[in-house]
Amino acid sequence: MNFGTLPSGERVERHELTSGRLRAAVLSYGAILQTLEVDGVNVVLGLPTLDDYLTRSRYFGAVVGRYGNRIAGGRFTLDGVEYHLPVNNGPNSLHGGTEGFDSKVWTIRDVTGSAITLALVSPDGDQGYPGTLTASVTYTLDGDALRIDYTTETDAPTVVNLTNHSYFNLAGGGDVLGHVVRMAADHYLPVDGDKIPTGEAAPVKGTVFDFTTPHAIGERFDGAYDHCFVLNGDITVTEPGSGRTMEVTTTEPGVQFYAGGMLDGDATPYGPHAGFCLETQHFPDSPNQPAFPSTVLRPGEVRASTTTYRFPG
């Protein structure tokens, strides 16, 4: 169905998916997951109109790219050439720049009752990135699970790091500080004052970043999490009031755990900690951090990853 029209004249579509206990709505603008209902309760933060997404969004439900998370100084060097990106987060480039994938209209390649595939072609030089990149994202509802499959290809060497920026609230309202997180991550990435990794993978043991045993989001650190964790297994989040649980598995090496502390309730409809993000991804600033897993994509290669959010009943 038609969700609205951009000032450019581009039409934005909205499609609903259903399977078992789950129901979802996906927009062609930003490949946004607008709603995800579990047993009739919407567990993601979304906005009701296209104008809201243009003016009041904090990447709610969007696929971000070409590079999710931060790149220090808005620059990186690849094969001896330095590339400059738009700076939109202090001194850094965040989530692909000022006009990232979250603000593009994706092409709907295929849609069924329970799955949708969207595609986007990012031209050479888009937001300063080299190479023409072809990306696709498939959302599939399968019983009690939402699976997101990503693929990317390029015609010239580039860097890429796609992720979904959904904010979850398993209660369907209120804040998420009481949600309990267990995360199989023995290390996290410490950051400097600009939230750029120092290059170290530090042990979580004995710190407020230790979720190897369950802890509520607001139990420590004032819930001020916005850090990348090095995964060695799955993530489980439980909302004690409803008993609703979400299990996250991914092929990616890390996850940015953000507890929504910068939501302000003024510029957006949601206040601080109205939702939390688990952005499965490669590490922030990897193009400038040779010790991190590489995010370089070269012609002839296909970068593919899968993340699954399961809601056991």
Of the candidates 13, 153, 252, 279, the residue annotated as catalytic is: 279
Kind and range of the H or E run holding 269: none
Q: Give CA–CA dist 169/194, Å, rounded.
A: 27
Predicted TM-score (pTM) of this structure: 0.97
Catalytic residue among 95, 165, 179, 282: 165
Q: Which helix (H) or strand (E) is 181 found in, with range?
A: strand 180-183
- Contact between 242 and 313 under an 8 Å Cβ cutoff? The reply is no
d(CA 250, CA 310): 11
* Per-residue confidence (pLDDT) for residue 265, from 0 to 100: 77
Q: What is the CATH number of domain 2-310?
A: 2.70.98.10
Peptide bond into 298 cis (omega under 30): no
Report how far apart, in Å, the C-alpha atoms of 62 and of each of 34, 45, 276 are: 8, 11, 14
Q: Coil, strand or helix: which one is 288?
A: helix
pLDDT of residue 163: 98
- Is residue 239 annotated as a catalytic residue, yes or no? no
- For every residue of 209-245, DSSP letters joined together read T--SS-EETTSSGGG--EEEEE-SS-EEEEETTTTEE
CA 40 → CA 44, 124, 127, 268, distances in Å? 12, 43, 39, 24
Check if 15 is active-site.
Answer: no
pLDDT in tens, 217-267: 999 999 999 999 999 999 999 999 999 999 999 999 999 999 999 998 778
The token duo for 248 is 């996250």
The stretches in the chain having pLDDT less than 50 are none
Q: Which residue has the tokens 């010790």?
A: 291
> What gap in Å lies between CA 238 and CA 75, rounded to an integer?
39
Residues 6 or more apart whose CB falls under 8 angstroms from that of 260 comprise 167, 176, 270, 272, 273, 274, 275, 276, 277
- First-residue to last-residue Cα distance in the chain: 30
Q: Where are the domains of the chain?
A: 2-310
**Residue reference for tokens 């916005």:** 226
